[in-house]
A = this chain, B = another copy of it.
Amino acid sequence: MKIFIVGLGLIGASYAQGLKKAGHEIYASNRTEAVVEQAIKEKIVEKDNDMSYLSKVDLIILGLYPKHNIEFLSKHKHLLKKGQIITDVSGTKAWMTKEIEALIPDGVSYTSHHPMAGKESSGYASKDYKIFKDANFIIVKGQKSGPKDEKILKNIASDLKFGKITITDAQTHDELIAFTSQLTHVIAVSLVHSDHLKETPQATGDSYRDLTRIAKINEVMWTELFLENKEALLKKINDFEKELDQLKKHIETNDKESIQEYLKSAKEKRKVFDET
C-alpha cells in the first residue's frame, strides 16, 4: 500500500520504519526537511518523495501534535482525493477529530487511532518500530469513518506487530487516556517534586524508579496533551485523590482491617491486567 506519513517524530518515524519493513511504499513530510532527506538515505522513505504524493497514496497518517495536524490539513486539503483514508496517532482525540471531520472533503474518510506505545526520548533519531510489539492499539471511529477504514487500520496494526485492538469512540478514548496515560504522568512528576531528601538517590528500590521513569517527560508535548484533555484529566486527578485520602484516613486512624482490605482488593483488581 502507498502510505504518506506527516511528521517524522518518534512515532511517525517508527511507523515509517516498521511499515517500510512490512513492504509498504512510504512517503513523508516533516517541518525540518533534512529529516526527510535522512529517511530517504536510510531507505525508509521512497527517493522520489514529494508533497504531490499526498494525492496518490491510499492512506495518510498524521503524526504531528493535534493542532499541527489540523494546520497541515487546512493547508493541504486541496490535494486530497476521493477514496483516500486519513488517520492520526494523537494522544487526545475528541476536540481534534471534530475539527478534522469538518475540514476534509467529501469522499475522503477519516478514522483516528492511538498506538499505546512510546519512549522517553523523542524525534526521528529515537525511532524504533519494535516499541509497538504487543502494545495496545485503539481505533477511534467517528462521523467520517468509511467502511474500509477498520480493516485497513487493523492491517497496519498487524504489520507493526501491535497486540490487542480495541474499537471505541473519541470521548471514551479521551477518558481512558486521561486515566491510563495522563494521570500516570501527573503522578510521576508530582512524586519527583515531592522528594526532599538528599539521600534519596542512594536509597531507592525498584518501586520509586518504576513510578518515576515516565517523569523524564517531553514537557512541550505533555503540556499540550494535558490542556487538550483538561476536563477528563481533572476528573481523574480528583478520583485518584479521593482514593488516596481514603487510604490516608485508614492509616491516620490505625484502621488495620480497612487498610488490609484496601490493599487486598487493589491486588486482586491489578492482577486482572496480567491475565488480559
Contacts and interface: CB of A to CB of B under 8 A. Distances in A.
A212 B267 contact: no
Contact of A259 (B181, B215, B227): B227
Q: Chain A: interface secondary structure?
A: helix
Given A199-B172, A215-B270, A267-B219, A247 B190 contact: yes
A200 B214 contact: no
A31 interface: no
A180 B192 contact: no
B214 A207 contact: yes
Contacts of A263: 189, 217, 219, 222-223
A237 B227 contact: no
A136 B203 contact: yes
A144 interface: no
Contact of A207 (B185, B204, B241): B185
Interface residues of A, number: 90
A262 B189 contact: yes
Contacts of A118: 205-206
A106 interface: no
Given A194-B239, A219-B263, A226-B251, A201 B272 contact: yes
A217 B265 CA distance: 10
Contacts of A273: 201, 204, 209, 212
A148 to B, nearest CB: 23
Interface string A210-238: 11111111011011001100100110110
B214 A266 contact: no
Contact of A262 (B193, B216, B271): B193
A43 to B, nearest CB: 30
Nearest to A233: B251
Nearest to A238: B248
Contacts of A270: 192, 212-213, 215-216
Given A189-B262, A219-B259, 5 more contacts: A117-B205, A166-B199, A180-B205, A180-B207, A219-B264
Interface of A: 116-118, 135-136, 138, 164, 166, 168, 172-173, 175-177, 179-181, 183-197, 199-217, 219-220, 222-223, 226-227, 230, 233-234, 236-237, 239-244, 246-248, 251-252, 254, 256, 259-267, 269-273, 276
19 contacts: A116-B203, A116-B204, A135-B205, A136-B203, A173-B203, A176-B197, A176-B203, A180-B204, A180-B205, A184-B207, A188-B211, A190-B246, A193-B243, A207-B214, A210-B213, A212-B273, A217-B263, A222-B263, A234-B248
